[in-house]
């Protein structure tokens, strides 16, 4: 049974969805981010970066417990261990890695900053809001171009890349992104919601 330290956030939904899609049993340990539980010394031993999600696999390599942090690393670890969510075609595997890294380095930080400057900054900083919203929209347009060509981000197969990008694209308002402007992304989000693994993963955090 994999222990999943998480919360109901765009990054937090990724691991329950991946485990549901893989059919792997897991236990959710919900952290209260408002109460700063992610900075508690016990949790910092699991994730020194003090953020969710993180996992502990009691049966890691060599049969010893293994903790993993960073959602991309977690999903790649789970996909490798349980054999799924990774395209069989070698080119699509590279695309899955590309769009996973694209989320980690682009969508995640830009959507996060756009939302923070819009809703949480102690004083309004117009140019920061504009910069991060513009960049969030530019990145969404990159996904739009990809998804006009193929049904899933890796190509023909559903993969870790779709799960990685879904969390933020399922909360686009936070970053000032209107999915009505991105019909292919909107259709992909609808297809994601039709998957039972996605539905069960989201329900596990409600
Ligand atoms: N790059 C990290 C981002 C994790 C992240 O930013 N998590 C947020 C929740 S969506 C968090 O823990 N925020 C609380 C904090 O920063 O203290 C990942 O993909 O795992």
C-beta of 114 in contact with ligand 1 (< 6 A)? no
Instruction: Choose the final residue of a domain: 58, 85, 112.
Output: 85
The pLDDT-based confidence of 102 (bands split at 50, 70, 90) is very high
Residues 99 and 194 in one domain: yes
Q: Indicate whether 76 and 119 sit together in one domain.
A: no
Same domain, 44 and 77: yes
Q: Per-residue pLDDT tens for 19-47?
A: 999 999 999 999 999 999 999 999 999 99
Instruction: Please indicate, yes or no, whether residues 76 and 94 belong to a single structural domain of this protein.
Output: no
Three-class DSSP category at 135: helix
- At residue 186 the predicted structure's pLDDT band, cuts being 50, 70 and 90, is very high
Q: Which 3 state secondary structure label does DSSP give 41?
A: helix
Task: Residue 49: give its domain's CATH number.
Answer: 3.40.30.10
Best mutation site among 10, 37, 52, 105 for ligand 1, i.e. most ligand atoms within 8 A of its Cβ? 52
- Strand 2-6 versus strand 26-30 pairing type: parallel
Residues 6+ apart with CB under 8 A from 164: 14, 71, 72, 75, 99, 100, 103, 104
What is the count of structural domains for the chain? 2
């Amino acid at each position: 049974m994999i222990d999943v330290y998480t919360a109901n956030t765009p990054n937090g939904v990724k691991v329950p969805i991946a485990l549901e899609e893989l059919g792997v049993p897991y236990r959710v340990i919900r952290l209260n981010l408002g109460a700063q539980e992610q900075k508690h010394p016990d949790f910092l031993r699991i994730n020194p970066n003090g953020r969710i999600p993180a996992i502990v696999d009691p049966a890691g390599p060599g049969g010893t417990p293994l903790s993993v942090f960073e959602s991309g690393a977690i999903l790649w670890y789970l996909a490798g261990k349980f054999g799924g969510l990774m395209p069989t075609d070698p080119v699509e595997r590279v695309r899955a890695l590309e769009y996973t890294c694209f989320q980690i380095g682009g969508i995640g930080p830009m959507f996060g900053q756009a939302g923070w400057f819009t809703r949480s900054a102690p004083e309004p900083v117009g140019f920061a809001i504009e910069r991060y919203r513009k960049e969030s929209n530019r990145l969404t347009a990159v996904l739009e171009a990809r998804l006009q060509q193929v049904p899933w981000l890796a190509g023909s197969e559903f993969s870790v890349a779709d799960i990685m990008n879904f969390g933020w694209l399922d909360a686009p308002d936070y970053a000032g992104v209107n999915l009505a402007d991105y019909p292919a992304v909107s259709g992909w989000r609808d297809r994601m919601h039709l998957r039972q693994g996605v539905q069960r993963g989201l329900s596990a955090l409600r």
